[in-house]
Amino acid sequence: MKEIEVVIGLEVHVQLATATKMFCRCPNLFGQPPNTLICPVCMGLPGSLPVVNAKAVELGIKAALALNCHINREIIFERKNYFYPDLPKGYQISQYALPLAEEGFIEIEGKKIRIRRAHLEEDAGKLIHSSLGSGVDFNRAGVPLLEIVTEPDVHSPQQAYDYLTQLKTIMQYVGVSSCDMEKGFLRCDANISLPRKGEKLGVKTEVKNMNSFRGVKDALSYEIERQSEIIQKGGRIIQETRLWDEARRKTFSMRSKEEAHDYRYFPEPDLVKYTFTEEEIEKLRNSLPEMPQVKYERFKKQYKIEESLLKALVEEKNLADFFESSLRYYPQPKSVANWILGPLREIMNIKRIENIENIALSPDNFTKVVRMFDEKKLNNIATKKLLSLILENNENAAVVAEKNNLLQISNAADLEAWVEEAVRTNPKPVNDYLSGKKNALMFLVGVVMRKSSGQANPTVVKDLLVRRIKDEKSN
């Protein structure tokens, strides 16, 4: 038995974050009541005609440039013909010959995943099934998509996962899309085959219906298992489209090659050729922000913080931006990075805020909190509490800390009474400590912390307790 290779190609659809749809002026918005964002054009009414959204083309070019693609100077749109209730015109306006961009790549850990092409197209509507029957919501119909197709350069499910993560980061950097997979802003289909070593590509299956990056990874792992089992038993892989079932964690056959559509592509006669000048493309290239790879290298040199922190910061452009803005007010990279990636993100998660862009807290005010912690004016718990209190209103950190009694009490005189009480009412731990069980001291610190409603400075409390117990002993 010859050794088996894994060959994967990925097709990703990214929804472009334009204000309006690809070929009409309906708003491009998510989560609105069904069929409230529609017009004769995106509903495919008789006589309606598409008009290209120049902003979508611009975003597409920026995305493609960020993916190191060559932009074709002349592009055309074509019709992809097939029937489905979510497809209003009976054809999708897409690109076939002369796509927007070709021959790009994404680099992952030194290895290039080549991008074959990136082209613009319109999204379809969405079927909604209920007890009343099936309906179609056309709000999404006509939303601009950029389809990004790789060469078969991916060789493991993990690599597919990394590619998607990196792609998402790049798209977010360019401001092209939030790539939220749950909202369908990014969708991924995968082609996978297991050729024997030396063979070229083998027979591939197309896997669809994955709802997360993790789902892509799982579905591919499942396919590798399924296909290698068939091959090892001497069977043949059938060229087909398979659907990933997240609940059952399996793929199921949807249609075979014979049932595949003949899309009858032909140039869209309702649209004219689109051409770009060198200047236009250069202008867009110059408008691109610092790309994640470059930013990573710069951060590494400039801030000298742990690699894992750097990676996490750079992965989300908004985090990186928040980080750098914060440093302007408080140039302590390590502290600031730790507080952003740790507690701040944790609190955002609890409050179900996904993007740091959506918090009210300003970098200025945020660094006030971090500074108070570093200056030991706040203990760990109080700092988190304070962040939580001002995250969504950006009220002055110092004022809120004061008002909510969060400031740490470090003054021995103010702590004396609590220490005294703790020692008096807990003779057993005191004796334990005296007999060498050092852990007993932490219990007593805890008692004082509780009595001070968390405000006491635990380090100071610890010192006071040790001294007080020593006194007790010497008495």
Residues of this chain that bind another protein (CB under 8 A): 40, 43-52, 79, 81, 83, 85, 88-91, 136, 262, 264-266, 269-272
Integer Cα distance of 25 and 33 in angstroms = 18
Alpha-carbon span 250 to 229, nearest angstrom: 14
Listed in sequence order, the DSSP H helices in 175-277 are 213-232
The residue (of 56 and 347) whose beta carbon lies closer to another protein is 56
Residue whose CB is less far from another protein, 249 or 264: 264
Q: Smallest distance from the beta carbon of 100 to another protein, in angstroms?
A: 17
Residue 273: CB minimum distance to another protein, A: 10
Nearer to another protein (CB atom), residue 260 or residue 434: 260
The minimum distance between CB 244 and another protein, in angstroms, equals 23
Residue among 70 and 273 whose Cβ is closer to another protein: 273
d(CA 418, CA 449): 9
The answer to whether residues 12 and 165 touch, using CB atoms and an 8 Å cutoff, is: no
* Minimum gap (Å) between residue 62 Cβ and another protein: 22
Q: Residue 313: CB partners within 8 Å, gap ≥ 6?
A: 299, 319, 320, 323, 337, 340, 341
Q: Report the nearest approach of another protein to the CB of residue 88 (Å).
A: 6
Residue closer to another protein (CB basis): 34 or 454: 34
Cα-Cα end-to-end distance for the chain? 83
Per DSSP, what are the bridge partners of residue 92? 80
**Bridge partners for 75 per DSSP:** 274
Amino acid identity of residue 369, one-letter, is V
Write down the least CB distance from residue 89 to another protein, Å.
5
Q: Which is nearer to another protein, 95 or 408 (CB)?
A: 95
Q: Give every CB contact of residue 436 below 8 A, 6+ residues apart in sequence.
A: none
* Dist. CA 266–CA 80, nearest whole Å: 7
- Least distance CB 126 / another protein (angstroms): 14
Question: Measured in whole angstroms, how far is the alpha carbon of residue 128 from the centre of its chain?
Answer: 26
Closest CA to 143 of 188, 185, 83, 171: 185
The CA-based diameter of the chain, rounded to the nearest angstrom, is: 100
> Which of 89, 217 has the CB closer to another protein?
89
Residues in the chain: 475
